[in-house]
Amino acid sequence: MIKIYSTEKRTFLKRINKSETELNRFLSENWNNFFPQFKLIKSEFTLSGKVRNKGGSGRIDILAFNPKTNKFVVFELKRYLDKNIRNQVSDYKDFVEDNFPRIYLLSTQKFGIELPKYENISEDSIEVVMIAKSFTPNDIDKAQKSKNEITLIKYLWFENELLLIDYLNNDPEDLIKEENAEKIKKIKSIIDNKPELADVEAFLFGKDEAKRLFRIFYEYLKKIDEVFITVQATKIKVSFGKQNFSVIGYAGKTGRKSHLVINTNIDEVTSLEGKYDDRVRANGKKKGSLGIERYEVFITTEEDLMEFLNIIENDYYKGKVHN
């Protein structure tokens, strides 16, 4: 049983019951905190007709859109256990298919939601997110076999307006890790065993993991724009677009046990908690002598590197837009 202890009150917080309407309102008002991966279209989305075959009005608890898959997303909120997931999903699918033109027009014209062109949205496939206090093992098994089309989220309310949510499948953080892993596989397929970076390999001699991570770093950037490398006495200088980096390899022997240290001036690396240092001291002077860049980013794993590369890529395209 999940319990939440308040250090302020020095007691366990009590669970409370709230209506589906209150849950709907809370999620809608805090949408970007809970579901940044989806675009909210409308809470209490209503059409004439019946959503459920066995009765009920044409009301979807929350209608959203997934920009990554170009599919509408139906949110169904339940206070208690629901044993009819397969039937519900079938009903929602039929409802969206039967009312697809109206749903699209209401979303774009009445509610002012920017969506892809009509013909680019999947009409015969939707995603369903079900939120309830509990689900049966059979429910979870069906959702896990649904190829990401059914997501189950368990929730619990506690006093002090605390809401706990637990993804039982399709956790967005896990999906991001899977996407990064796929990116790494594609990058690795490009990299061969030829010493095309001979100077870099010589600089990183004896640091095999640092060499491997640097090659992933180099190949990733090269797919986006030209990359220029200059190997100097104390560092590898990398120029990419309007960005510059200074790189050294540690081979896991420092206190942080990082394999690569990459210096950068991209401010967004401050989101990498525990994986960077700000070299600027209180007096405004930079500590250390590695390059002129402000931030030191410590790369220990491929996942660390992919997080950093995603920041570099976003910064690169942001600069293109501004130019």
Instruction: Locate the domains of the chain by residue range.
Output: 5-170, 177-322
Q: Which CATH code for domain 5-170? A: 3.40.1350.10
d(CA 195, CA 146) in angstroms, rounded, equals 45
* Secondary structure (DSSP) of 27-75: HHHTHHHH-TTSEEEEEEEEESS-SSTTS--EEEEEEEEETTTTEEEEE
The amino acid at 202: A
Listed in sequence order, the DSSP H helices in the chain are 20-29, 31-34, 85-98, 100-105, 137-144, 172-190, 198-203, 208-222, 302-322
End-to-end CA distance of the chain: 54
Q: Of 175, 88, 67, 174, which Cα lies nearest the Cα of 132?
A: 88
pLDDT at position 108 is 93
Is beta strand 295-299 parallel, antiparallel or unpaired with respect to 71-77?
Answer: unpaired
pLDDT at position 46 is 83
C-alpha angle 129-133-136 in degrees, rounded to nearest 5? 80
pLDDT at position 190 is 46
pLDDT at position 9 is 80
Non-local (6+) Cβ contacts of 61 within 8 A are 20, 24, 43, 44, 74, 75, 76, 77
How many whole angstroms from its chain centre is CA 293? Answer: 28
Burial of 181-199, coded b for 16+ CB within 10 Å and e otherwise, reads eebbeebeeeeeeeeebee
Q: Is the pLDDT of residue 252 over 60?
A: no
The amino acid at 8: E
Q: Is the pLDDT of residue 288 over 80?
A: no
Instruction: For tokens 């089309």, name the residue.
Output: 149
pLDDT at position 187 is 52
Non-local (6+) Cβ contacts of 146 within 8 A are 89
pLDDT at position 170 is 85
Q: Is the pLDDT of residue 191 over 50?
A: no
Provide the edge-to-edge strand list for the sheet that holds 276-278: 227-231, 236-240, 243-249, 260-264, 295-299, 276-278
Question: Residue 43 to residues 26, 28, 38, 172: CA-CA distances in angstroms?
Answer: 11, 7, 13, 21
pLDDT at position 279 is 85
d(CA 40, CA 224) in angstroms, rounded, equals 31
d(CA 274, CA 33) in angstroms, rounded, equals 22
Residue-wise pLDDT for 115-154, tens only, equals: 999 888 877 778 999 998 888 888 888 888 887 888 999 9
Least confident of 42-51, 155-164, 177-186: 177-186
Mean pLDDT of the chain: 83
